[in-house]
Amino acid sequence: MKKEHLNPVSWQEKYGYSQGCRVDEAQRLLFVAGQIALDESGQLVGEGDFEAQARQVFVNMGRVLESGGMGFENLVQVGVFMTDISQLATYARVRDEFVDTSAPPASTTVGVTSLAFPGLLVEVNGIAAS
């Protein structure tokens, strides 16, 4: 598989994402549903703590990627939904613990008024390719 990050301008670099990601010769695609801050038993992790929830979201995403025979290096796109957009820098710092910051996935971030369950602060979905 060949993955090419497309950035016709450079301003996005200071925000840590790619404008686009072209994938050639992929054999598999994995569509990761929105991951939320629930642990293995379905209990909310980090009530009121955005950073703890963001970290749990990426732990959960990692489990899905691994079960599909992939890892964070395979992510080509993520969609981020957060109830407090002022937490974007915190989200980015946590995300950078998991993704390749030299070739980050294409990203969309949206501020929302609420998520599926009470207490959730962030949700992330994604597309991975290999």
- Which pLDDT tens digit goes with each residue over 48-57? 999 999 999 9
* In contact, 53 and 41? CB cutoff 8 Å: no
Domain ranges, ordered by start, for the chain: 2-129
pLDDT of 16 above 80: no
For residue 107, what pLDDT is reported? 95
> The domain 2-129 is classified under which CATH number: 3.30.2130.30, 3.30.1330.40, 3.40.250.10, 1.10.3720.10?
3.30.1330.40
Structure tokens at 103: 């070739």
For residue 7, what pLDDT is reported? 81
CA distances from 13 to 10, 16, 63, 81, 125 (A): 6, 5, 28, 20, 21
Q: How much of the chain, in percent, has pLDDT values that exceed 70?
A: 100
- Write the pLDDT tens digit of every residue in 33-50: 999 999 999 999 999 999
Q: With 0.85 as the threshold, say if the pTM is over it.
A: yes
For residue 19, what pLDDT is reported? 81
Backbone φ/ψ region at 114: left (φ over 0), alpha (ψ -120 to 50), beta: beta
Using 50, 70 and 90 to split pLDDT, how confident is the model at 29? very high
For residue 2, what pLDDT is reported? 87
